[in-house]
Every structure is written in structure tokens, then in C-alpha cells.
Structure 1
Amino acid sequence: MEAEFVDDGHGGTVVMLDGQPQSHVDLADPGSLLFEYVNHFGLVLDTLPEGTLAVTHVGGAGLTFPRYVQHARPGSPQVVLEPDTALTEAVRRELPLPRGHRIRVRPVDGRSGVAALRDASADVVVLDAYAAGRMPADLSTVEFLTDVRRVLRPGGLLMANVTDEPTREHLRRWYAALDSVFPETAAVALVEVWKRRRFGNHVVLGSTAALDLPALTRAVARCPFPSSLRTGEELARLLAGGRAYVDGDTDLSPEPPPRDGWRLR
């Protein structure tokens, strides 16, 4: 299905693919992150030490977050792994990247793209890869996340967008895989998602170094969407009981419910 570019009526554009809103882009204000979970990505990024960051994105769509990284950390070298070349060409045509960017888009899938990256080549890996609204199964396994850890520099950070039903069955298994690879974990989601009121996005974090929990707590408290941070034993209790996904025993993320569009704040 071809990408659709829909004017949001607020100066931005929603990129639609497979009937689902994939990205929101405001060319005049790349710091504007109107999708809740992308806002969570941004607030986590903003807690990291100042300066440029080497960022690898697994999944590109409208290149919203690479634009944000360029806006917030000018000159940061970025690699985007996006296999849909037609989508990338359409986005570049309809929503041009800013001048002076260092964003390179590679036409490869996430699994093989990460495998080809050098050891310790990224400060941050952002996992936000979906097809028809579902995360590919091979991006949920212990083996894949181990490869992500290889690509991250010491103390580097994985930020992953993991969607699930209120049952959290997929998230439990995804978290079990993450927890077996990264000693430090945390997650941010809307309050109503944590309360199991609806299908939703969880920004799940993994690192080999201690996370700056006070800074993350303050950042989440300032979020324009009512959100909360879960960490440590609390997070482990919430997501206990999952059997870690491994190659040969994995699945796509749940199919998202029908929706007419993305809510704007």
C-alpha cells in the first residue's frame, strides 16, 4: 500500500501506511512530537548527557524521530534501517529532511541491518519497526536484543516501542527477552495504558549502565500526556511470568484495533 500524507489541520502532516498512522511530521517545528510514544522517546533522549549522539533507528517511516534528534542534538550521526524504499522516497519527496543533517537511510530490514553494524557503534538504538501495525517477530528475540547490545557502546541505551493489548501477554514475553540481555530496564507509558484501559504503546528501555532515574522521573512528570515511569522491582512484578521470545519461538505484536486517526493534544 502506498503511503498517504494527510494534513492534520495544525500545520503538520500524518504519514499513513496500511491504514495506520505511522508518523507525524511538522517541518516548521521538528521539536513537536504529537504521538504519545514518540514524545516519550524525546523526553528520554533529553535526559542523556549533552552533545552529539550516534543513533541507530530500526524503522524509519516519516523519519520523525531522526528529525528530532537532529533538532535537539545538531550534527548527530544517524543511521536509519528502513526496508521500504518506496516509503523512504515518498517521505524524502513530500517531507524533505533539514539541511546539514547526518541522517543515512539504509534499505535493509532491522534484523539484517543491525547484524551488519559495527560493534560499539551507537550510543542509542531506537526500535520502532512496524508493518501493518505489528512489530516483526524477529525483532523480539533474545538473539536480536543480544545483537543490539553488541552494537551499543558501553552504557548505551535501547529505546523500544512495544505495543500490546491490556493483557500484556506480548509485552511480558518481550520484556523477559530484554531483561535477559540488559541488566538495567525501565518503561514509560500513558497512565491509561498502565491501568489496562486500552491497547497502547510502551517505551521500554534497556541499558548496561544505571539509568538516570531522577532525571527520567522529572521528565515524565513534565510530559504533556499523563504518563508514568515504571522501574526496578515494580516493573519486574508488573511484567512477571513471561517466557522470553527466542528465535524459533516468537510472534508478531498484536494487531492494533481499528482507529480513525491519531489523537492530537
Structure 2
Amino acid sequence: PTGPCWNWSPSTCRCPGTPASRCTRRTFRAWLEAAPGDSADVLVADVFGGSRVPAHLTSVTYAREAARVLRDGGVYLANLADAAPFAFLRSQLATLGTQFEELVLIAEPGVLRGRRFGNAVLAASHRPLDTAALARRTAADAFPARVEHGASLRDFVRGARPVRDEDAVPSPEPPDGAFGIG
């Protein structure tokens, strides 16, 4: 497959399994701002500066660019990390909600119950997503996850404000050992 690929290693610019991919060392936001509208089916934002999502990838302006670049029916996916009371995660859902009609949150039950710091995947689209199939597949995974959408997700987000560029902050710093296995 061809297409842009981001690899933040300073020593290499190669994406395993995709030798024909173009690679850029620009930030994801700079690439989005330069990309033509309606030019991507899927955007995956799994971007961290150290252990945190950079602030410039958390605002309404950034979400607007992602929505502009996606084709009709395209999906934006973001890997984020947070812990209860989920101020960062809730603000990101509110931010994406300014640009996308469909929002879905996927996370391990222990994270959503506030028991620990952890990852959550946000999916956003202008079209409905098959949340029933997604819920079945994530529940059956080796590391089961829960899918939140619709009314339960609106309740989760209630009271959170979308993030403006001038108010943007990076994601929270994970506690020591948050992502260890064992």
C-alpha cells in the first residue's frame, strides 16, 4: 500500500510491512493542514511526545482539519490515555463532537471504572459505525474492552468543553508503571 506513514525514530523513516509508503517527519497536524480535503478513508492518531499526546493535537482546530481530510464515511481513530475523573478524555470527546456526528469510546473496563490509568481509543465519523459488531469483537479480545456510544457516551462527556488552541494542554503524564505488563 502507498500513503503517508509517520515514524518518529530519528534514525529511520521506515514503516514495517509498507515499503511503498511515503514517510514524513512533519507533525501529524502539519500534514493534516497541507493535505487535500476528502483524501483519506482512515486517520490514525497514535502520536505521543514522550508519554503524552502533544497539546497541538487536542484542539477543535485540529479536529476540524481531521474532519476536512476524511472522505465521507471515513473514520478518525485516536489512541489516548487518561484516568478518572477523565478530564482529558472527556474534553477530547467534546472536541471531536464539534466536528463529527458519531463518536465511540473503546477502553478496558478497569480503566472506564476509574480503577487505573490506561489507554482509550476514540473513533469518530460522519456516518454511524457498527457499534454492535465492535462491542462483540472487543469483548472477545485477549484484553477485553468495552464500547461506549450513544446516550451513555453523551452522559460521560456531559459538562466537558471543547478545547481551543489557546487552551490546549498535553495529555496527563502517566504514573510510573502504568503501562507495564505483569
What TM-score does the superposition give when structure 2 sets the normalisation length?
0.92
Pairwise CA distance, 1:97: 2.6
Residue 10 of structure 2 corresponds to: 86
- 1:154 equivalent to 2:154? Answer no
Structure 2: state its 5+ residue gaps: none
SS state at 2:98 partner: helix
Residue 263 of structure 1 corresponds to: 181
Structure 1 ranges of 4+ moved more than 3 A: none
Residue 45 of structure 2 corresponds to: 127
SS state at 1:125 partner: strand
- Percent identical pairs in the alignment equals 32
Pairwise CA distance, 1:202: 0.8
Structure 1: state its 5+ residue gaps: 1-74
Residue 114 of structure 1 corresponds to: 32
Contact 2:118 2:179 in 1 (8 A): no
* Aligned-partner Cα distance in 2 for 1:102–1:246: 36
Residue 95 of structure 2 corresponds to: 177
More moved, 180-189 vs 211-220? 211-220
* Aligned-partner Cα distance in 2 for 1:217–1:260: 25
Larger radius of gyration: 1
* Aligned residue-pair number: 182
* Aligned-partner Cα distance in 1 for 2:150–2:53: 25
Residue 150 of structure 2 corresponds to: 232
AA partner of residue 224 (structure 1)? A
Aligned residues: CA RMSD: 1.9
SS state at 1:174 partner: helix
SS state at 1:248 partner: helix
SS state at 1:263 partner: coil
1:253 maps to which of 156, 168, 171: 171
Contact 2:118 2:178 in 1 (8 A): no
Pairwise CA distance, 1:249: 1.2
* Aligned-partner Cα distance in 1 for 2:95–2:16: 35
More moved, 214-223 vs 246-255? 214-223
- Offset from partner CA, 1:84-133 (integer Å, 9 cap, x none): 4515x1x74xxx733x6432211101211111111111100001111120
SS state at 1:186 partner: strand
